Amino acid sequence: MRFLPATLADIAAAGFRPGDLDAVIVTGDAYVDHASFGAAIIGRVLADAGYKVAILARPDPDDVEAFRLFGRPRLAFLVTSGAVDSMVSTYTANKKPRSEDDYAPGGNKALCMRADGSIGQGIAKRPNARPDRAIIAYSTMCRQAFKGVPVVIGGLEASLRRLAHYDYWSDAVRKSILLDAKADILVYGMGERQIPEIMERLAAAAAIEAAAGSGAAAADSNRRRAPKPDLSGIPGTVWARHIGAAPAAQVVDESFPGAELLPDFSAISGADPASKRAYAASFAAQYRSTDSRTARVLVEPYGDRIVIQEKPAAPLERGELDRVYALPFARRAHPMYEAWGGVPALAEVQFSLLSSRGCFGACSFCALTFHQGRKVTSRSVGAIVAEARELVADPEFKGYIHDVGGPTANFRRAACEKMEKRGACLDRRCLAPEPCPNLEPDHAEYVRLLRELRALPGVKKVFVRSGVRFDYAMLDGSDEFLRELVAHHISGQLKVAPEHVSDKVLALMGKPPRRAYDAFAERYATLNREAGLKQYLVPYFISAHPGSGLAEAIELAEYLRGAGFVPDQAQDFYPTPGTLATAMYWCERNPLDGSPVYVAKGAHERAMQRALLQFKAPANADLVREALALAGRRDLIGSGPRCLVRDGGPSSSQGPRSRRRRS
């Protein structure tokens, strides 16, 4: 079992010396050599192409020497914050610090790679070694460590912040992260196409530079004087250009014919209504440019500079996906973490199988549209079964495949023939608010895959734990998939995500109306009865999503009361970069049609909506009473069967109101 070099000992074992490497991948996650981790995929793709690459995982963000551990890379630093945006990784939806980090050694968020190559607390003794806005922090240290080495940024954080974006934690619009990180180029989406092309161009430029000089001194001099390599025109990338005093519109007309000029950053970065309208228009243009077949080049001006977003890279086709996932991943956390108990994030995916990428569900609160795109591509049944055989041969495998899925488990192909040939529609979703008549629901291949996996010797159970799009399943003319799911692939309960019950809120979420979930719940119960099984449906709901006021939150609470179900966990809406719902949150309007949207922004109202989701919890009683009183629904306070909370007595209405004035 061989890992990519990630320690000085690994470098020596590979026959390299510090300074021999073509690229150093800097990541905020501990190094797990598994295809669910972007740094591992990019590292394996580059190694397969013949590049010498190492992974510098969770370097001490305060010590430049930690970034010099593997010497000066010949071509580039490749920088990512990790599998999750660093701000989301560090803070809850209420902006409170998280206590642990599943992507850190042993879940201990204080641990990092120190300058001597050991794991421990860094020189600043930070409680969290993954810095806020990690890509910016890491890029700064890379430039300090070795001046002149190109810095390429990518991963989820870079992808979703590639152009000007609303940042929930500062409550302001921030510039493209490309500019704040002062990187040479940004890779958005899945990077298997872009990174090799960038490396080829950097290698060609390095060869020209080396030929132009002789001797170490001349080489150093040339490195400082040599023009930057041309990294323009690569699909799935963002880059910047100085334009001086030239009007941006003129530059676009002359240099980027057919491109769409977005509003200048100065016009969208304010908090006034005009700025928010301009921001909404800019976001709408970005939202419509996420498909590789239909997108346009986007140009965003910043005074004397412009940021150019090239069209998205085409998603990998089936054979290409099969090849990437067949690379020799160790499927383990690097041994350097054994003393810390490994890396918790591995547990959920170690014995799981990725079936597909992309999602045409287009939920407003999800960033997949911006990151992987709406076109679904999938691995072949044969390739997935072959990987499953490798799992069975693993000494740690206990007979249970934990998941077979992707962003949406039961999507394995494009939504329709039109999407396959001409790309996603610009101004409509495939499933909501009503399913498109061109939609072609088909589970036949997925059912065949699940059956072949179940039949493998050594496999006891195959679970489906990725999200199942229940409305898509119900549109299939055959019950075959649902029957198979109920009979073989659930362990007592199926988790699904209706997200809300108010049709108004559901429409803004990009989810089907309530009747679609009610029909599915009824069908699920029927199939379980027919199979003689007692398996439960566990729905997930979001509180305080744009469009949800107290009335809609109460509607959801009444639904839960009627269903006799109160969720153990409640999810607050989290305004993260790259989602349509976050643009709604900031602009208080729907960017796609300009209609106004109610937004619960104050912490207190958000708390009331969350409390209504869990109205039976004694700790929430005062908040529930206050919310019901404010909404004029005192009929739901008392001891009757319709009531959500008991009357708290004469003082109960005064306490919550006084707290509200202080918030």
The whole-number pLDDT of residue 55 equals 98
pLDDT in tens, 22-52: 999 999 999 999 999 999 999 999 999 999 9
Mean pLDDT of 268-294: 97
Q: Which CATH number fits domain 8-239: 3.10.450.30, 3.40.50.280, 3.40.50.970, 3.40.50.300?
A: 3.40.50.280
Mean pLDDT of 395-401: 97
**Percentage of the chain with pLDDT > 90?**
91
Q: How far apart are CA 48 and CA 167, in angstroms?
A: 37
Please provide the size of the chain in residues: 663
Residue 499 backbone class (left: φ over 0; alpha: ψ -120 to 50; beta: rest):
left
For 548, other C-beta atoms within 10 Å of its C-beta total 27
pLDDT in tens, 435-450: 999 999 999 999 999 9
- Interior CA angle at 156 toward 153 and 160, to 5°? 90
The whole-number pLDDT of residue 299 equals 98
- Dmax over Cα atoms in the chain, in whole Å? 89
Domain-wise residue ranges, the chain: 8-239, 351-491, 495-622
The values of phi and psi at residue 571, to 5°, are -105, 120
Q: How far apart are CA 295 and CA 288, in angstroms?
A: 7
Is it true that domain 351-491 has CATH number 3.30.750.210? yes
357 has pLDDT over 50: yes
State both tokens at 636.
Answer: 């739901």
Question: Topology of 495-622 in CATH?
Answer: Transcription Regulator spoIIAA (3.30.750)
SS3 353: strand
The values of phi and psi at residue 378, to 5°, are -140, 160
Cβ-Cβ contacts under 8 Å for 41 (sequence gap 6 or more): 35, 191, 192, 324, 327
The DSSP element (H or E) to which 172 belongs, if any, is strand 172-174
Cis, bond preceding 229 (omega within 30 deg of 0):
no
The whole-number pLDDT of residue 226 equals 57
DSSP helix, strand, coil percent of the chain (3-state; round to 5): 40, 15, 45
Q: How confident is the model at residue 652 (pLDDT cuts 50, 70, 90)?
A: very low
Please check whether the two domains, 351-491 and 495-622, share a CATH topology.
yes
pLDDT in tens, 518-529: 999 999 999 999
For helices 381-393 and 444-454, the axis angle rounded to 10 degrees is: 20
pLDDT in tens, 574-623: 999 999 999 999 999 999 999 999 999 889 999 999 999 999 999 999 99
Question: Alpha helices of 289-394 — where are they, by DSSP H?
Answer: 318-325, 346-349, 368-371, 381-393
* pTM across the whole model: 0.94
Q: How far lies 517's CA from each of 254, 459, 566, in Å?
A: 51, 32, 17
For helices 621-630 and 603-613, the axis angle rounded to 10 degrees is: 110
SS3 343: coil
